[in-house]
Amino acid sequence: MYQYDEYDQTMIDQRVAQFRDQTRRFLAGELTEEQFRPLRLMNGLYIQLHAPMLRVAIPYGMMSSRQVRKIAEVARRYDKGFVHFTTRQNFQMNWPKLEAVPEILAELASVQIHSIQSSGNCIRNTTSDQLAGINANEIEDPRPWAEIIRQWSTFHPEFAYLPRKFKIAVVGSKEDRAATKLHDIGLHLVKNHEDEVGFEVLVGGGLGRTPVIGEQIRPFLKKQDLLSYLEAILRVYNRLGRRDNKFKARIKITVREHGINHIRELVEAEWVHIREQLKLDTKEIERVKQYFTKPAYEMDTADSDSHYADLLAQDKEFALWVKQNTVDHKIPGYRAAYVSLKKPGQAPGDITSEQLEVVADLADEFSFGEVRSTHTQNLIFTDVKQADLYALWLRLNSENLATPNINTLTDIICCPGLDYCGLANATSIPLSKGIAQRFDDLDYLYDLGDIKIKFSGCMNGCAHQSVGHIGILGVDKKGEEWYQFTLGGSSEADASLGERLGRAIPKNEVVDTVAHLLDAYIDLRHDDESFLMTVRRVGVDPFKERVYAENH
């Protein structure tokens, strides 16, 4: 994990002091709301439906146990004792008092956390794969590259006022756990024909009211050219991006309006001017990489514990949790263990201060003091000895954090919706809870297999509904909440946009509609065929017939 030096710490401390004065002046009436708005957005502060909402950046989702404890403390002292993890690996506080926000930021800065550029029309938190560094299929660890991008983009004077917000994600393997194809820029570490590692660069992806899959702008980019090429893309976007209509301002629209070939020509032409001035030298790359070295694994002994196999055989619940909530690790004898924030009955992505403190303790005890957030709104311990999994599971289970539902129907991505968000048209959390409670039979969930529901309360797509296997979008119709379903989307390596099922569904039929879709899937599927594969094979019509026939 990158550790701030004196320069970094001074910079964010000064930013806190600056925002403290800006907030004081606003509360004293010396700044208007119009004047204060861009200042608070630069610090991740929104004015939502019921209270301010503070979004805090977690670079590539990595947190130390010390940072997790501070988040818990801040949530208890200044909010309602819980935080909400988002699809950008950030966390949000939904009830802080405006006058308390500078103090919150000061507390977080003391453990090297900030909210700078977590909102506004700037480069947002760069996200990555939660399994970065432990994935055996990885070409290279993407975290140092995400950190290099973070250092380059934070406070970049040329890109502080882009046409719209700008999101970058980077992954190090063919698997995509960061939805890179739905980002303004997606970066894949790849090898060329000479076995040299560099980047495939995608551009123009995005969600919201006009979802678009990103297009390849460069098949291979040398590592030392990463920042100069990103800067060239940003310069072209800054020049061509629409500022007259915020709904057409994202780079995905710029790419569509001008065409990927023309954008590529412009970027390459711009790149010629800056390529030599912004080369990353090996010394700088290695300086950042040194912060992401392997922890002190027990290389020889971790894989030799036979008791683990006995526990798997003796305890069915433990075995289910291991199967569903843990994944392979490149070091023999270790696994990564998900902390499910999707227990039926709770808002997806929410965790209390008390639970966060438990997570911090468990990170220290079982995972080298580190926790990561995922873009699916869960947490993960990445380095757990398999001999320790049983003890970890017992502790998580006692805190309601061991629901074995990762990658099942109830592992729902969900936005805050109308309960919190001033942009939302419809509620999402209560209906997500309703779905999770209706389908809480684990045997049924496991039989259904991998089904990803993504549920948004408005067109902005914070929950990625356009790329859900089942996407649900809340819409307002003359003051009533209705819900539009899409089927067949994916945010992974086989990224695709969902196809609209049919007319919108009334609120009281949403959970039943999910049931009809599942019944149709069970009838239509071939052996071992996933929900997504079935939809792609038969199309949406058989599902449409089932849903709307039931409603007639």
For 470-490, what is each residue's pLDDT tens digit?
999 999 898 899 999 999 999
What's the pLDDT tens digit per position in 407-459? 999 999 999 888 878 788 899 999 999 999 999 999 999 999 999 999 999 88
Report whether CATH 3.90.480.20 matches the domain 6-110: yes
d(CA 133, CA 141) in angstroms, rounded, equals 5
Quick one: pLDDT band at residue 51, thresholds 50, 70, 90? confident
* pLDDT average, residue stretch 115-140: 96
Which pair of tokens denotes residue 247? Answer: 């709904």
User: pLDDT value at position 303?
Assistant: 66
* pLDDT average, residue stretch 103-128: 96
d(CA 29, CA 401) in angstroms, rounded, equals 45
What's the pLDDT tens digit per position in 70-94? 999 999 999 999 999 999 999 999 8
Burial state string for 348-371 with b = 16 or more CB within 10 A and e = fewer than 16: bbbbbbebbbbbbebbbbbbbbbb
Q: Is the pLDDT of residue 552 over 60?
A: no
User: pLDDT value at position 198?
Assistant: 98
β-bridge partners, 454: 413, 471
What's the pLDDT tens digit per position in 258-297? 999 999 999 999 999 999 999 999 999 999 999 998 999 9
Name the pTM for this structure: 0.95
What's the pLDDT tens digit per position in 149-159? 999 999 999 99
d(CA 473, CA 48) in angstroms, rounded, equals 20
What's the pLDDT tens digit per position in 173-229? 999 999 999 999 999 999 999 999 999 999 999 999 899 999 999 999 999 999 999
Cβ–Cβ under 8 Å, residues 109 and 13: yes
Which pair of tokens denotes residue 430? Answer: 């209560």
Question: If you count them, how many residues does the chain have?
Answer: 552
DSSP string, 302-367: GGG-SHHHHHHHH-HHHHHHHHHHEEE-SSTTEEEEEE----TTS-TTEEEHHHHHHHHHHHHHHS
Give the helix/strand (H/E) hosting 260: helix 260-274
Better pLDDT: 345 or 420 = 345
Quick one: pLDDT band at residue 302, thresholds 50, 70, 90? low
| Strand positions, DSSP E, 444-549 | 453-456, 470-477, 480-487, 499-500, 505-506
Q: Of 408, 421, 436, which Cα lies nearest the Cα of 530?
A: 408
Tell whether the torsion through CA atoms of 114, 120, 124 and 125 is positive or negative: positive
What's the pLDDT tens digit per position in 358-389? 999 999 999 999 999 999 999 999 999 999 99
Q: Of 488, 519, 518, 484, which Cα lies nearest the Cα of 502?
A: 484
β-bridge partners, 169: 127, 186
From first CA to last CA, the distance across the chain in angstroms is 56
Same fold, 134-290 and 413-548: yes
User: pLDDT value at position 416?
Assistant: 85
The helix/strand/coil state of 427 is coil
Quick one: pLDDT band at residue 65, thresholds 50, 70, 90? very high
Q: Is the pLDDT of residue 521 over 80?
A: yes
Cβ contacts of residue 101 below 8 Å, gap of 6+? 19, 23, 43, 45, 52, 54
414: left (phi over 0), alpha (psi -120 to 50) or beta: beta
User: pLDDT value at position 306?
Assistant: 78
d(CA 403, CA 52) in angstroms, rounded, equals 31
d(CA 404, CA 402) in angstroms, rounded, equals 6
β-bridge partners, 186: 169, 202
Mean pLDDT of the chain: 95
Indicate the CATH number for domain 413-548: 3.30.413.10
> Which CATH number fits the domain 134-290, given the four candidates 3.30.450.20, 3.30.413.10, 3.40.50.980, 3.20.20.70?
3.30.413.10
Quick one: pLDDT band at residue 549, thresholds 50, 70, 90? confident
Tell whether the torsion through CA atoms of 500, 503, 505 and 510 is positive or negative: negative
Cβ contacts of residue 75 below 8 Å, gap of 6+? 81, 82, 83, 93, 352, 353, 356
What's the pLDDT tens digit per position in 217-273? 999 999 999 999 999 999 999 999 999 998 999 999 999 999 999 999 999 999 999
Give the pairing of strands 91-93 and 82-85: antiparallel
Q: Of 336, 337, 330, 331, which Cα lies nearest the Cα of 299?
A: 331
Half-sphere exposure of 124 (CA within 13 A, CB side): 23
Give the domain ranges of the chain.
Answer: 6-110, 134-290, 301-399, 413-548
Cβ–Cβ under 8 Å, residues 242 and 248: yes
Amino acid at 537: R
Indicate the CATH number for domain 301-399: 3.90.480.20
User: pLDDT value at position 301?
Assistant: 67
